[in-house]
Structure 1
Amino acid sequence: MKTILIVEDEITISRVLKAYLEKNGFSTIQSYSGREAIKAFATHRPDLILLDVMLPDGDGWSVLHTIRQESTCPVIMLTALGDVDYRLKGLTSGADDYISKPFIGEEVVARVQAVLRRSRTIFESGDTKQYGQLKINLHSHRVDLNGNEVTFTPKDLSVFLFLAEHPNQTFTREQLIENVWGIDYDGSDRAVDLAIKRIRKSLEGWSSEQGEIKTLRGLGYQFSVYEK
Protein backbone atom coordinates (compact mmCIF):
# COMPACT_ATOMS: atom_id res chain seq x y z
CA MET A 1 0.00 0.00 0.00
CA LYS A 2 1.34 3.41 -1.03
CA THR A 3 1.54 6.14 1.61
CA ILE A 4 0.62 9.74 0.78
CA LEU A 5 1.69 12.66 2.96
CA ILE A 6 -1.00 15.39 2.88
CA VAL A 7 0.38 18.82 3.78
CA GLU A 8 -2.64 21.11 4.02
CA ASP A 9 -3.49 23.54 6.81
CA GLU A 10 -7.21 23.75 6.00
CA ILE A 11 -8.61 20.86 8.03
CA THR A 12 -11.72 20.40 5.87
CA ILE A 13 -9.68 20.09 2.68
CA SER A 14 -7.20 17.76 4.37
CA ARG A 15 -10.04 15.50 5.51
CA VAL A 16 -11.55 15.41 2.03
CA LEU A 17 -8.20 14.45 0.48
CA LYS A 18 -7.68 11.79 3.14
CA ALA A 19 -11.14 10.30 2.51
CA TYR A 20 -10.72 10.12 -1.28
CA LEU A 21 -7.21 8.67 -1.11
CA GLU A 22 -8.05 6.03 1.48
CA LYS A 23 -11.19 5.09 -0.46
CA ASN A 24 -8.86 4.34 -3.39
CA GLY A 25 -6.48 2.14 -1.45
CA PHE A 26 -3.85 4.59 -0.19
CA SER A 27 -2.73 5.12 3.39
CA THR A 28 -2.35 8.74 4.45
CA ILE A 29 -0.43 10.94 6.88
CA GLN A 30 -1.67 14.46 7.61
CA SER A 31 0.47 17.50 8.39
CA TYR A 32 -0.82 21.04 8.87
CA SER A 33 2.38 23.09 8.66
CA GLY A 34 5.74 23.09 6.94
CA ARG A 35 7.56 22.12 10.12
CA GLU A 36 5.22 19.17 10.71
CA ALA A 37 5.59 18.13 7.08
CA ILE A 38 9.38 17.93 7.21
CA LYS A 39 9.25 15.88 10.42
CA ALA A 40 6.57 13.56 9.00
CA PHE A 41 8.57 13.10 5.80
CA ALA A 42 11.72 12.14 7.74
CA THR A 43 9.79 9.72 9.95
CA HIS A 44 7.47 8.00 7.48
CA ARG A 45 9.22 8.35 4.10
CA PRO A 46 5.97 8.53 2.08
CA ASP A 47 5.63 7.44 -1.53
CA LEU A 48 4.21 10.81 -2.61
CA ILE A 49 3.50 14.23 -1.07
CA LEU A 50 0.50 16.49 -1.68
CA LEU A 51 1.93 19.87 -0.70
CA ASP A 52 -0.07 23.07 -0.25
CA VAL A 53 1.75 26.24 -1.31
CA MET A 54 0.32 28.46 1.43
CA LEU A 55 1.16 27.21 4.94
CA PRO A 56 0.84 28.97 8.33
CA ASP A 57 4.58 28.89 9.03
CA GLY A 58 5.88 29.67 5.56
CA ASP A 59 5.26 28.30 2.10
CA GLY A 60 5.35 25.00 0.27
CA TRP A 61 8.31 26.09 -1.86
CA SER A 62 10.56 26.03 1.22
CA VAL A 63 9.32 22.56 2.17
CA LEU A 64 9.85 21.36 -1.39
CA HIS A 65 13.39 22.77 -1.41
CA THR A 66 14.22 20.99 1.86
CA ILE A 67 12.86 17.68 0.60
CA ARG A 68 14.65 17.96 -2.75
CA GLN A 69 17.99 18.34 -0.96
CA GLU A 70 17.76 14.72 0.14
CA SER A 71 15.03 12.94 -1.80
CA THR A 72 13.39 12.49 -5.20
CA CYS A 73 10.04 11.62 -3.61
CA PRO A 74 7.24 12.70 -6.02
CA VAL A 75 5.54 15.96 -5.00
CA ILE A 76 2.25 17.41 -6.26
CA MET A 77 1.70 21.08 -5.37
CA LEU A 78 -1.75 22.28 -4.24
CA THR A 79 -2.65 25.96 -4.45
CA ALA A 80 -5.52 28.35 -4.93
CA LEU A 81 -3.27 30.40 -7.20
CA GLY A 82 -3.99 29.47 -10.80
CA ASP A 83 -1.48 31.79 -12.45
CA VAL A 84 0.81 30.01 -14.94
CA ASP A 85 3.87 31.57 -13.27
CA TYR A 86 3.12 29.61 -10.11
CA ARG A 87 2.72 26.44 -12.16
CA LEU A 88 6.11 27.01 -13.78
CA LYS A 89 7.70 27.87 -10.42
CA GLY A 90 6.50 24.56 -9.03
CA LEU A 91 7.81 22.56 -11.96
CA THR A 92 11.08 24.48 -11.99
CA SER A 93 11.54 23.88 -8.26
CA GLY A 94 11.24 20.13 -8.69
CA ALA A 95 7.52 19.46 -8.29
CA ASP A 96 6.08 16.61 -10.37
CA ASP A 97 2.62 18.06 -10.90
CA TYR A 98 0.44 21.01 -9.94
CA ILE A 99 -3.26 21.11 -9.01
CA SER A 100 -5.22 24.34 -8.61
CA LYS A 101 -7.97 24.76 -6.03
CA PRO A 102 -10.85 24.22 -6.08
CA PHE A 103 -10.34 20.67 -7.32
CA ILE A 104 -12.39 17.51 -7.67
CA GLY A 105 -11.39 14.65 -5.38
CA GLU A 106 -11.39 12.13 -8.22
CA GLU A 107 -9.00 14.34 -10.19
CA VAL A 108 -6.53 14.45 -7.31
CA VAL A 109 -6.62 10.65 -7.02
CA ALA A 110 -6.11 10.31 -10.78
CA ARG A 111 -3.15 12.71 -10.69
CA VAL A 112 -1.61 10.84 -7.75
CA GLN A 113 -1.98 7.53 -9.56
CA ALA A 114 -0.49 8.98 -12.76
CA VAL A 115 2.55 10.47 -11.00
CA LEU A 116 3.17 7.21 -9.12
CA ARG A 117 2.94 5.25 -12.37
CA ARG A 118 5.51 7.51 -14.01
CA SER A 119 7.75 7.22 -10.97
CA ARG A 120 7.74 3.43 -10.98
CA THR A 121 10.15 1.30 -12.99
CA ILE A 122 10.19 2.53 -16.55
CA PHE A 123 12.56 -0.05 -17.96
CA GLU A 124 12.60 -3.82 -17.66
CA SER A 125 16.06 -4.14 -19.15
CA GLY A 126 18.90 -4.76 -16.73
CA ASP A 127 21.45 -3.35 -19.15
CA THR A 128 24.00 -0.83 -17.98
CA LYS A 129 25.11 1.73 -20.55
CA GLN A 130 28.39 3.58 -20.28
CA TYR A 131 29.50 6.57 -22.30
CA GLY A 132 32.90 7.68 -21.14
CA GLN A 133 32.56 8.61 -17.47
CA LEU A 134 28.74 8.51 -17.62
CA LYS A 135 27.23 5.23 -16.44
CA ILE A 136 23.48 4.57 -16.69
CA ASN A 137 21.74 1.59 -15.12
CA LEU A 138 18.34 1.42 -16.80
CA HIS A 139 17.07 -1.14 -14.29
CA SER A 140 17.96 0.53 -11.00
CA HIS A 141 17.54 4.06 -12.44
CA ARG A 142 20.98 5.01 -11.16
CA VAL A 143 23.17 7.47 -13.05
CA ASP A 144 26.84 7.91 -12.15
CA LEU A 145 29.26 10.49 -13.47
CA ASN A 146 32.96 10.26 -12.69
CA GLY A 147 32.18 7.63 -10.06
CA ASN A 148 29.59 9.74 -8.22
CA GLU A 149 25.83 9.30 -8.32
CA VAL A 150 23.99 12.07 -10.15
CA THR A 151 20.90 13.35 -8.33
CA PHE A 152 17.88 14.34 -10.42
CA THR A 153 14.34 15.30 -9.50
CA PRO A 154 11.93 12.43 -10.32
CA LYS A 155 10.65 14.21 -13.42
CA ASP A 156 14.12 15.10 -14.72
CA LEU A 157 15.23 11.52 -14.11
CA SER A 158 12.25 10.22 -16.10
CA VAL A 159 13.08 12.56 -19.00
CA PHE A 160 16.74 11.61 -18.97
CA LEU A 161 16.10 7.86 -18.75
CA PHE A 162 13.54 8.02 -21.56
CA LEU A 163 16.09 9.75 -23.80
CA ALA A 164 18.82 7.34 -22.66
CA GLU A 165 16.64 4.37 -23.56
CA HIS A 166 16.54 5.72 -27.12
CA PRO A 167 20.07 7.01 -27.83
CA ASN A 168 20.56 9.09 -30.97
CA GLN A 169 16.80 9.40 -31.55
CA THR A 170 15.12 12.80 -31.67
CA PHE A 171 11.92 13.55 -29.75
CA THR A 172 9.73 16.62 -29.99
CA ARG A 173 8.45 18.41 -26.89
CA GLU A 174 5.03 16.90 -27.55
CA GLN A 175 6.46 13.36 -27.66
CA LEU A 176 8.39 13.88 -24.43
CA ILE A 177 5.32 15.29 -22.69
CA GLU A 178 3.19 12.33 -23.83
CA ASN A 179 5.76 9.74 -22.76
CA VAL A 180 6.96 11.34 -19.51
CA TRP A 181 4.32 13.77 -18.22
CA GLY A 182 1.41 11.78 -19.66
CA ILE A 183 -1.39 12.63 -22.07
CA ASP A 184 -3.41 14.22 -19.25
CA TYR A 185 -0.77 16.93 -18.70
CA ASP A 186 -2.27 20.36 -19.34
CA GLY A 187 0.69 22.61 -18.57
CA SER A 188 3.11 24.48 -20.78
CA ASP A 189 5.59 22.64 -22.99
CA ARG A 190 8.23 24.95 -21.48
CA ALA A 191 8.43 22.33 -18.74
CA VAL A 192 10.39 20.19 -21.22
CA ASP A 193 12.91 22.97 -21.88
CA LEU A 194 13.33 23.57 -18.15
CA ALA A 195 13.89 19.86 -17.49
CA ILE A 196 16.52 19.65 -20.24
CA LYS A 197 18.26 22.72 -18.83
CA ARG A 198 18.44 21.15 -15.35
CA ILE A 199 19.61 17.80 -16.76
CA ARG A 200 22.45 19.49 -18.63
CA LYS A 201 23.49 21.29 -15.45
CA SER A 202 23.48 17.97 -13.55
CA LEU A 203 25.69 16.44 -16.22
CA GLU A 204 28.30 19.20 -16.17
CA GLY A 205 31.64 17.44 -16.27
CA TRP A 206 30.56 14.91 -18.88
CA SER A 207 32.81 15.42 -21.88
CA SER A 208 31.05 16.52 -25.06
CA GLU A 209 33.38 14.15 -26.88
CA GLN A 210 31.54 11.28 -25.18
CA GLY A 211 28.03 12.58 -25.81
CA GLU A 212 25.53 15.33 -25.06
CA ILE A 213 21.88 16.23 -24.72
CA LYS A 214 21.53 17.83 -28.12
CA THR A 215 18.97 20.38 -29.30
CA LEU A 216 17.94 19.96 -32.93
CA ARG A 217 16.38 23.27 -33.86
CA GLY A 218 12.81 22.85 -35.03
CA LEU A 219 12.85 19.12 -34.25
CA GLY A 220 13.43 18.47 -30.56
CA TYR A 221 15.94 16.88 -28.21
CA GLN A 222 18.27 13.91 -28.54
CA PHE A 223 20.54 11.92 -26.25
CA SER A 224 23.45 11.97 -28.67
CA VAL A 225 26.18 9.49 -27.77
CA TYR A 226 29.01 7.51 -29.28
CA GLU A 227 28.44 3.85 -28.42
CA LYS A 228 31.41 1.49 -28.36
Structure 2
Amino acid sequence: MTTILVIEDEEAINHVLRVFLQREGWHVIQAFSGNEGIDAYYDHHPDLILLDVMLPDRDGWSVLHEVREESQCPILMLTALGDVQHRLTGLNSGADDYITKPFIADEVVARVHAVLRRVTTPSEERDNSTFTYGELTINESTRDVRIGGNIVAILPRDFKLLLYLARNPNQTLTREQLLENVWGQDYEGTDRAVDLSVKRIRQALKDWSDDEGELTTVRGMGYQFRVYTKK
Protein backbone atom coordinates (compact mmCIF):
# COMPACT_ATOMS: atom_id res chain seq x y z
CA MET A 1 0.00 0.00 0.00
CA THR A 2 1.23 3.50 -0.87
CA THR A 3 2.18 5.49 2.23
CA ILE A 4 1.85 9.28 2.21
CA LEU A 5 3.29 11.53 4.91
CA VAL A 6 1.43 14.81 5.50
CA ILE A 7 3.52 17.43 7.33
CA GLU A 8 1.15 20.33 8.02
CA ASP A 9 0.77 22.28 11.27
CA GLU A 10 -2.81 23.48 10.62
CA GLU A 11 -4.84 20.62 12.08
CA ALA A 12 -7.95 21.26 10.00
CA ILE A 13 -6.01 21.12 6.72
CA ASN A 14 -4.00 18.09 7.87
CA HIS A 15 -7.14 16.15 8.76
CA VAL A 16 -8.97 17.07 5.54
CA LEU A 17 -6.01 15.89 3.50
CA ARG A 18 -5.91 12.64 5.48
CA VAL A 19 -9.58 11.95 4.73
CA PHE A 20 -9.28 12.61 1.01
CA LEU A 21 -6.04 10.66 0.64
CA GLN A 22 -7.41 7.67 2.54
CA ARG A 23 -10.39 7.61 0.18
CA GLU A 24 -7.90 6.78 -2.57
CA GLY A 25 -6.77 3.73 -0.62
CA TRP A 26 -3.48 5.27 0.55
CA HIS A 27 -2.04 4.86 4.05
CA VAL A 28 -1.61 8.32 5.61
CA ILE A 29 0.88 9.33 8.31
CA GLN A 30 0.27 12.74 9.93
CA ALA A 31 2.85 15.13 11.38
CA PHE A 32 2.21 18.65 12.71
CA SER A 33 5.72 20.12 12.85
CA GLY A 34 8.99 19.90 10.98
CA ASN A 35 10.78 17.80 13.58
CA GLU A 36 7.79 15.48 13.96
CA GLY A 37 7.74 15.16 10.17
CA ILE A 38 11.42 14.21 10.00
CA ASP A 39 10.90 11.58 12.71
CA ALA A 40 7.90 10.19 10.82
CA TYR A 41 9.92 10.11 7.60
CA TYR A 42 12.67 7.97 9.17
CA ASP A 43 10.13 5.75 10.96
CA HIS A 44 7.84 5.03 8.00
CA HIS A 45 9.86 5.72 4.79
CA PRO A 46 6.81 7.07 2.91
CA ASP A 47 6.28 6.83 -0.83
CA LEU A 48 5.38 10.55 -1.05
CA ILE A 49 5.41 13.60 1.24
CA LEU A 50 3.03 16.56 1.35
CA LEU A 51 5.10 19.26 3.04
CA ASP A 52 3.97 22.66 4.32
CA VAL A 53 6.55 25.45 4.05
CA MET A 54 5.52 27.42 7.14
CA LEU A 55 6.00 25.11 10.14
CA PRO A 56 6.31 26.14 13.82
CA ASP A 57 9.75 24.71 14.66
CA ARG A 58 11.72 24.33 11.42
CA ASP A 59 10.50 25.44 8.00
CA GLY A 60 9.65 23.15 5.14
CA TRP A 61 12.79 24.10 3.21
CA SER A 62 15.04 22.56 5.89
CA VAL A 63 12.88 19.44 5.99
CA LEU A 64 13.08 19.22 2.20
CA HIS A 65 16.87 19.50 2.23
CA GLU A 66 17.26 16.84 4.92
CA VAL A 67 15.03 14.37 3.10
CA ARG A 68 16.82 15.05 -0.18
CA GLU A 69 20.13 14.12 1.44
CA GLU A 70 18.67 10.69 2.13
CA SER A 71 16.33 9.80 -0.73
CA GLN A 72 14.49 10.69 -3.93
CA CYS A 73 11.08 10.41 -2.22
CA PRO A 74 8.60 12.61 -4.13
CA ILE A 75 7.76 15.82 -2.23
CA LEU A 76 4.89 18.23 -2.91
CA MET A 77 5.22 21.60 -1.19
CA LEU A 78 2.14 23.24 0.36
CA THR A 79 2.27 26.98 0.99
CA ALA A 80 0.39 30.25 1.02
CA LEU A 81 3.37 31.86 -0.70
CA GLY A 82 2.27 31.89 -4.31
CA ASP A 83 4.72 34.03 -6.23
CA VAL A 84 6.90 32.59 -8.98
CA GLN A 85 10.15 33.00 -7.04
CA HIS A 86 8.90 30.82 -4.18
CA ARG A 87 7.72 28.17 -6.64
CA LEU A 88 11.13 28.19 -8.31
CA THR A 89 12.85 27.97 -4.93
CA GLY A 90 10.89 24.85 -4.08
CA LEU A 91 11.31 23.15 -7.44
CA ASN A 92 14.99 23.99 -7.70
CA SER A 93 15.57 22.68 -4.18
CA GLY A 94 14.29 19.26 -5.17
CA ALA A 95 10.50 19.48 -4.74
CA ASP A 96 8.46 17.55 -7.30
CA ASP A 97 5.47 19.89 -7.32
CA TYR A 98 4.20 23.05 -5.62
CA ILE A 99 0.61 23.62 -4.46
CA THR A 100 -0.52 27.07 -3.37
CA LYS A 101 -3.05 27.60 -0.56
CA PRO A 102 -5.96 27.86 -0.51
CA PHE A 103 -6.46 24.70 -2.54
CA ILE A 104 -9.20 22.18 -3.20
CA ALA A 105 -8.48 18.78 -1.65
CA ASP A 106 -9.46 17.05 -4.90
CA GLU A 107 -6.74 19.05 -6.67
CA VAL A 108 -4.14 17.82 -4.18
CA VAL A 109 -5.29 14.23 -4.77
CA ALA A 110 -4.97 14.74 -8.53
CA ARG A 111 -1.47 16.17 -8.15
CA VAL A 112 -0.46 13.24 -5.95
CA HIS A 113 -1.74 10.79 -8.57
CA ALA A 114 0.21 12.65 -11.27
CA VAL A 115 3.48 12.63 -9.34
CA LEU A 116 3.14 8.96 -8.40
CA ARG A 117 2.56 8.10 -12.07
CA ARG A 118 5.71 9.99 -13.06
CA VAL A 119 7.95 8.28 -10.51
CA THR A 120 6.53 4.75 -10.81
CA THR A 121 8.14 2.57 -13.47
CA PRO A 122 6.47 -0.70 -14.49
CA SER A 123 8.57 -3.75 -13.55
CA GLU A 124 8.98 -4.86 -17.15
CA GLU A 125 10.59 -1.50 -17.95
CA ARG A 126 12.90 -1.44 -14.93
CA ASP A 127 14.92 -4.37 -16.27
CA ASN A 128 16.03 -2.23 -19.24
CA SER A 129 16.30 1.11 -17.55
CA THR A 130 20.05 1.78 -17.76
CA PHE A 131 21.40 4.25 -20.32
CA THR A 132 25.12 4.08 -20.98
CA TYR A 133 27.07 6.52 -23.13
CA GLY A 134 30.78 5.90 -22.76
CA GLU A 135 31.70 6.44 -19.11
CA LEU A 136 28.29 7.98 -18.32
CA THR A 137 25.65 5.65 -16.88
CA ILE A 138 22.12 6.71 -15.97
CA ASN A 139 20.11 4.12 -14.05
CA GLU A 140 16.39 4.79 -14.00
CA SER A 141 15.62 2.03 -11.49
CA THR A 142 18.11 3.10 -8.82
CA ARG A 143 17.82 6.76 -9.92
CA ASP A 144 21.56 7.35 -9.85
CA VAL A 145 24.11 8.76 -12.28
CA ARG A 146 27.70 7.57 -12.55
CA ILE A 147 30.74 8.68 -14.52
CA GLY A 148 33.48 6.08 -14.67
CA GLY A 149 31.77 4.21 -11.86
CA ASN A 150 31.70 7.23 -9.53
CA ILE A 151 28.34 8.47 -8.24
CA VAL A 152 27.34 11.93 -9.46
CA ALA A 153 25.29 14.07 -7.05
CA ILE A 154 22.17 15.36 -8.80
CA LEU A 155 18.83 16.80 -7.68
CA PRO A 156 15.67 14.71 -8.31
CA ARG A 157 14.21 17.16 -10.82
CA ASP A 158 17.54 17.41 -12.65
CA PHE A 159 17.69 13.61 -12.75
CA LYS A 160 14.28 13.49 -14.41
CA LEU A 161 15.37 16.02 -17.01
CA LEU A 162 18.63 14.21 -17.68
CA LEU A 163 16.78 10.90 -17.98
CA TYR A 164 14.35 12.37 -20.52
CA LEU A 165 17.23 13.81 -22.54
CA ALA A 166 19.08 10.49 -22.41
CA ARG A 167 16.01 8.73 -23.76
CA ASN A 168 16.03 11.09 -26.72
CA PRO A 169 19.71 11.43 -27.72
CA ASN A 170 20.71 13.68 -30.62
CA GLN A 171 17.26 15.27 -30.81
CA THR A 172 16.57 18.98 -30.38
CA LEU A 173 14.01 19.40 -27.62
CA THR A 174 12.31 22.72 -26.99
CA ARG A 175 11.85 24.18 -23.52
CA GLU A 176 8.11 23.67 -23.95
CA GLN A 177 8.61 19.97 -24.64
CA LEU A 178 10.85 19.60 -21.62
CA LEU A 179 8.45 21.45 -19.33
CA GLU A 180 5.51 19.32 -20.46
CA ASN A 181 7.31 15.98 -20.21
CA VAL A 182 9.45 16.58 -17.10
CA TRP A 183 7.65 19.23 -15.02
CA GLY A 184 4.17 18.17 -16.14
CA GLN A 185 1.22 19.94 -17.71
CA ASP A 186 0.15 21.45 -14.37
CA TYR A 187 3.44 23.36 -13.94
CA GLU A 188 2.72 27.09 -13.52
CA GLY A 189 6.25 28.51 -13.47
CA THR A 190 8.39 29.86 -16.29
CA ASP A 191 10.69 28.08 -18.74
CA ARG A 192 13.60 29.63 -16.81
CA ALA A 193 13.39 26.50 -14.64
CA VAL A 194 14.63 24.45 -17.62
CA ASP A 195 17.66 26.70 -18.11
CA LEU A 196 18.60 26.50 -14.43
CA SER A 197 18.24 22.72 -14.42
CA VAL A 198 20.39 22.38 -17.55
CA LYS A 199 23.05 24.55 -15.94
CA ARG A 200 23.17 22.27 -12.89
CA ILE A 201 23.26 19.14 -15.05
CA ARG A 202 26.21 20.47 -17.02
CA GLN A 203 28.05 21.11 -13.77
CA ALA A 204 27.21 17.61 -12.56
CA LEU A 205 28.52 16.09 -15.81
CA LYS A 206 31.72 18.15 -15.92
CA ASP A 207 33.86 14.98 -15.74
CA TRP A 208 32.10 13.36 -18.71
CA SER A 209 34.46 13.35 -21.67
CA ASP A 210 33.61 15.74 -24.50
CA ASP A 211 34.61 12.93 -26.85
CA GLU A 212 31.68 10.85 -25.64
CA GLY A 213 28.92 13.45 -25.48
CA GLU A 214 27.64 16.78 -24.21
CA LEU A 215 24.50 18.72 -23.40
CA THR A 216 24.35 21.52 -25.95
CA THR A 217 22.20 24.60 -26.50
CA VAL A 218 20.48 24.90 -29.86
CA ARG A 219 20.15 28.64 -30.23
CA GLY A 220 16.56 29.84 -30.49
CA MET A 221 15.17 26.32 -30.10
CA GLY A 222 16.16 24.40 -26.98
CA TYR A 223 18.64 21.73 -25.97
CA GLN A 224 20.18 18.59 -27.36
CA PHE A 225 21.77 15.65 -25.56
CA ARG A 226 24.50 14.86 -28.07
CA VAL A 227 26.25 11.50 -27.87
CA TYR A 228 29.28 10.51 -29.93
CA THR A 229 29.52 6.96 -28.64
CA LYS A 230 27.21 4.00 -28.94
CA LYS A 231 24.91 3.13 -26.08
Q: TM-score, normalised by structure 1?
A: 0.93
Select between 197-206 and 90-99 the one with higher mean Cα deviation: 197-206
Q: Could you tell me whether the CA contact under 8 Å between 2:5 and 2:50 is conserved in 1?
A: yes
| Pair 138,37 (structure 1): closer, same or farther in 2 beyond 3 Å | closer
* Matching residue's letter, 1:44: H
> Residue 86 of structure 1 aligns with which residue?
86
Structure 1, residues 161-198: CA drift from partner, whole Å, max 9, x if none? 11101111111011111112222222222221122122
C-alpha distance in 1 between matches for 2:5 and 2:206: 33
> Residue 40 of structure 1 aligns with which residue?
40
| Pair 93,212 (structure 1): closer, same or farther in 2 beyond 3 Å | same
Structure 2 matches for 1:1-228, cutoff 5 A? 1-121=1-121, 124=125, 126=128, 128-138=130-140, 140-228=142-230
C-alpha distance in 2 between matches for 1:187 and 1:210: 33
| Pair 202,87 (structure 1): closer, same or farther in 2 beyond 3 Å | same
How many Å apart are 1:48 and its aligned residue? Answer: 0.7
Q: Could you tell me whether the CA contact under 8 Å between 2:78 and 2:99 is conserved in 1?
A: yes
Structure 1, residues 123-143: CA drift from partner, whole Å, max 9, x if none? 927164332321234555442
Q: Which runs of no fewer than 5 residues in structure 1 stay unpaired?
A: none
Structure 1, residues 53-97: CA drift from partner, whole Å, max 9, x if none? 000002100111111111111111000111111111101111111
Q: TM-score, normalised by structure 2?
A: 0.92
Q: Could you tell me whether the CA contact under 8 Å between 2:213 and 2:229 is conserved in 1?
A: no
Q: How many residues align?
A: 228
Q: Percent identity?
A: 60
Give the 3-state SS of the residue equivalent to 1:54 in structure 2.
Answer: coil
C-alpha distance in 1 between matches for 2:130 and 2:42: 31
Q: Which runs of no fewer than 5 residues in structure 2 stay unpaired?
A: none
C-alpha distance in 2 between matches for 1:91 and 1:138: 20
Q: Could you tell me whether the CA contact under 8 Å between 1:75 and 1:97 is conserved in 2?
A: yes
C-alpha distance in 2 between matches for 1:37 and 1:138: 28
